[in-house]
C-alpha cells in the first residue's frame, strides 16, 4: 500500500515536471519568435527607410546650360572703354562679318554646345560651326566650382583656341591680318615642290584620278583654312583641310600650317595627307604634261598683252599651279586610255564681251574634249566650266568662282 502511494506521488511529480518543462519551452519559443519578429520588423523598417531616402545627387552633373551661360556673360572692355559680352559680340557678327573664311565657306551662324569633361567640375563650351562635316569654332574650358582649380583672373572660363581668344580680345582689329590670310596660306601649301619638281596641287589631282578608278562617285569639295592657335610671338597656326565626297561619305586630308618668323611651314596631320605627300614625292616631273603653248612659255606680264583674249590666256597661264594640275590629270588619264593633245583656243564670250572663253582641246579615246574656263580679260578672274577645270581650280583656290550671269540687255 505504501509502495503504491509512493509510485503515485512519483508519477504526479513527473507530470508536474513535464508540465513545467512544457511551459518553460513555450515561453522560450515565444520569446525567440518575438525576437525574430522584432528583428524582421526592424530590418523591414530600415529597408523602407533606405528606399525612401534620396540617392545623393552629383551637383556638377547636367550643368551644360550653366557653363554656356557663364561664357555668354563674359564681358570684354574695348579701348574706348565700352563693354560688350561674348554673346553680344557673336550676335553682332564679329566673326562672320570680319573673318574672310566665313564668307569663303558661306557660313554665318553656329550652335552653342556644352560638354562635361568626364566626371569633373569642368565643361567644354563651343560655338560650333559645321562645313561639310568639318567642325570648328571658338572653344572654352569652364570651371563651375568656385573652389576648383582655375587660372588667376580667368573668371572660371579659359579661351583655348584662336577664335575664342579673338572674341576676348580688347581690340580684335589688331588680329584681322592673322585670320584673313587664307589665300596666302593655301598658296604656300599648294606651291610646295617635291624634290622631283612636282607641286602639291598636282599631287592632289593625281591622287584623285587614282581614286576615280576605285570609286564610282567622287566629288571634290575643296579647301577650308581654319585658324587654330595664336603662338606667343603673335603668329598663327592653321588647319588646312581638303575635302571631297565619296558616295555618301565626306573624306578629307588635313595639314597643319605654321608661321614662324613670317615663313610658313607645314606637315600632314592624317593618313590621307600622308598618302598625297607620298604620291607627290614618287611622281616625276616628266609624268606631268606641260600643256602651255610653245609660243607663250616665256614669263610675260598679262597686262602687256594688247589683245583681250591673249591677255585672258596669259592670266590663266600665269598660275602655273593650274596649268600643272590640268597637265597632271591628262597625263594620268593617258596611262589607261588613248589621249591626243591638240591645242589652245581662245575667243570672246558672246554673252559677255568682258570675258573670253579659254579652252584646251584634246581627244580621249577618239572623242574630242576640252578643258574650259571663262576668263575676265580685264582682271584675270577665272570661272571654270568643265569638270577638269573645276577640280583643278578647287585644288588651288579656297572657292572657285561661278560664271557670272550675262548682263541684262537694256
Tens of pLDDT along 45-60? 665 555 445 567 899 9
Kindly state whether residues 302 and 344 are assigned to the same domain: yes
> 145 and 225 share a domain?
no
Would you say residue 225 has pLDDT above 90?
A: yes
In a domain, 50, yes or no: no
Query: 328-360 pLDDT, tens per residue?
Result: 889 888 888 898 989 999 999 999 999 999 999
Please report whether residue 43 resides in a domain. no
DSSP state of 401: P
Dist CA 281 CA 265 (whole Å)? 17
Residue 215 and residue 266 in one domain:
yes
Domain of residue 72, residue span: 64-180
The reply to whether 23 falls in a domain is no
Give the HSE-up count for residue 344: Cα atoms under 13 Å, Cβ half-sphere.
Answer: 20
| SS3 assignment, position 291 | coil
User: In a 3-state reduction of DSSP, which class is residue 111?
Assistant: strand
Other CB atoms within 10 A of residue 9 CB? 10
Where does the pLDDT of residue 122 fall: very low under 50, low under 70, confident under 90, or very high at 90 and above?
very high
Residue at a domain's end among 163, 180, 197: 180
| 266 and 295 fall within a common domain | no
Query: What was the pLDDT predicted at 47?
Result: 58
Q: Grade residue 128 by pLDDT with cuts at 50, 70 and 90.
A: very high
Mean pLDDT rounded to a whole number for the chain: 86
Greater model confidence, 402 or 330: 330
Residue 408 confidence (pLDDT) above 50:
no
Domain's final residue, options 286, 319, 334? 286
Domains in the chain, number: 3
Domain presence at residue 302 = yes
Higher-pLDDT residue of 256 and 405 is: 256
CA distance 310 to 297: 13
In the numeric block, which cell numbers belong to residue 355?
570675258
d(C-alpha 54, C-alpha 56), whole Å:
6
Per-residue exposure over 13-31, b if at least 16 CB sit within 10 Å of its own CB, e if not? eeeeeeeeeeeeeeeeeee
272 and 212 belong to one structural domain: yes
Burial of 278 (0-12, 13-18, 19+ CB in 10 A): middle
352 and 336 in a common domain: yes
Give domain status of residue 33, yes or no: no
Asked if the structure places residue 10 within a domain, the reply is: no
Residues 266 and 353 in one domain: no
Q: How far apart are CA 280 and CA 308, in angstroms?
A: 36
pLDDT class of 400 with cuts at 50, 70, 90:
low
Looking at 286, 318, 353, which one is the last position of a domain? 286
**Rounded Cα–Cα distance for residues 172 and 94 (Å):** 9
In which band, very low, low, confident or very high, does the pLDDT at 8 lie, cut at 50, 70 and 90? low
271 with 311, same domain: the answer is no
Q: Report the pLDDT value the prediction gives residue 367, as an integer from 0 to 100.
A: 93
- CA 19 distance to own-chain centroid: 92
- In this prediction, residues 134-149 reach a mean pLDDT of 95
Q: Output the pLDDT for position 6.
A: 65
Q: How confident is the model at residue 410 (pLDDT cuts 50, 70, 90)?
A: very low
Do 84 and 163 lie in a common domain?
Answer: yes
User: What's the grid cell of residue 222?
Assistant: 575643296
DSSP character string of 199-210:
BHHHHHHHHHHH
Coil, strand, or helix at residue 249? strand
Total-model pTM = 0.79
Beta bridge partner(s), residue 83: 77
Whether 207 and 243 map to the same domain: the answer is yes
Whole-angstrom Cα distance, residue 64 to residue 210?
A: 46
In a domain, 125, yes or no: yes
In a domain, residue 49? The reply is: no
Mean pLDDT of 114-138: 95
224 near 241, Cβ under 8 Å?
yes
268 in the same domain as 235: yes
- Grid cell at residue 136: 570648328
* Rounded mean pLDDT, 250-254: 93
| Percentage of the chain modeled with pLDDT above 70 | 82
Query: What cell was used for 255?
Result: 595639314
Please check whether residues 188 and 207 belong to one and the same domain. Answer: yes
Classified as helix, coil or strand, 280 is: helix
Amino acid at each position: 500500500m505504501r509502495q503504491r502511494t509512493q509510485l503515485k506521488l512519483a508519477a504526479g511529480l513527473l507530470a508536474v515536471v513535464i508540465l513545467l518543462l512544457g511551459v518553460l519551452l513555450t515561453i522560450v519559443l515565444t520569446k525567440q519568435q518575438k525576437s525574430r519578429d522584432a528583428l524582421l520588423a526592424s530590418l523591414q523598417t530600415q529597408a523602407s527607410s533606405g528606399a525612401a531616402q534620396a540617392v545623393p545627387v552629383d551637383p556638377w552633373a547636367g550643368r551644360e546650360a550653366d557653363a554656356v551661360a557663364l561664357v555668354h556673360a563674359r564681358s570684354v572692355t574695348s579701348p574706348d572703354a565700352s563693354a560688350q559680352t561674348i554673346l553680344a559680340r557673336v550676335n553682332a557678327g564679329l566673326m562672320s562679318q570680319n573673318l574672310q573664311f566665313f564668307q569663303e565657306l558661306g557660313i554665318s551662324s553656329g550652335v552653342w554646345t556644352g560638354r562635361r569633361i568626364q566626371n569633373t567640375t569642368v565643361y567644354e563650351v563651343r560655338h560650333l560651326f559645321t562645313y561639310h562635316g568639318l567642325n570648328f569654332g571658338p572653344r572654352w574650358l569652364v570651371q563651375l566650382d568656385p573652389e576648383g582649380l582655375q587660372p588667376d583672373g580667368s573668371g572660371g572660363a579659359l579661351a583655348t583656341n584662336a577664335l575664342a581668344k579673338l572674341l576676348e580680345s580688347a581690340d580684335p582689329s589688331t588680329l584681322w591680318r592673322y585670320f584673313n590670310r587664307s589665300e596666302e596660306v593655301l598658296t604656300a601649301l599648294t606651291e610646295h615642290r617635291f624634290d622631283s619638281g612636282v607641286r602639291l596641287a598636282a599631287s592632289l589631282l593625281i591622287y584623285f584620278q587614282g581614286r576615280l578608278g576605285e570609286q564610282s562617285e567622287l566629288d571634290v569639295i575643296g579647301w577650308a583654312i581654319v585658324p587654330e592657335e595664336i603662338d606667343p610671338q603673335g603668329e598663327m597656326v592653321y588647319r588646312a583641310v581638303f575635302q571631297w565626297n565619296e558616295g555618301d561619305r565626306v573624306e578629307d586630308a588635313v595639314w597643319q600650317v605654321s608661321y614662324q618668323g613670317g615663313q610658313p611651314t607645314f606637315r600632314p596631320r592624317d593618313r590621307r595627307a600622308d598618302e598625297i605627300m607620298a604620291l607627290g614625292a614618287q611622281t616625276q616631273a616628266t609624268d606631268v604634261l606641260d600643256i602651255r603653248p610653245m609660243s607663250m612659255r616665256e614669263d610675260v606680264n598679262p597686262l602687256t598683252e594688247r589683245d583681250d583674249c591673249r591677255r585672258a590666256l596669259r592670266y590663266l597661264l600665269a598660275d602655273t599651279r593650274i596649268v600643272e594640275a590640268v597637265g597632271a590629270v591628262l597625263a594620268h588619264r593617258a596611262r589607261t586610255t588613248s589621249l591626243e593633245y591638240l591645242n589652245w583656243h581662245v575667243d570672246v564670250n558672246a554673252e559677255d564681251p568682258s570675258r573670253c572663253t579659254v579652252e584646251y582641246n584634246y581627244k580621249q579615246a577618239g572623242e574630242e574634249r576640252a578643258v574650259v574656263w571663262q576668263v575676265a580679260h580685264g582682271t584675270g578672274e577665272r570661272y571654270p566650266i568643265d569638270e577638269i577645270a573645276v577640280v583643278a581650280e578647287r585644288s588651288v583656290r579656297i572657292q572657285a568662282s561661278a560664271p557670272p550671269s550675262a548682263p541684262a540687255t537694256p
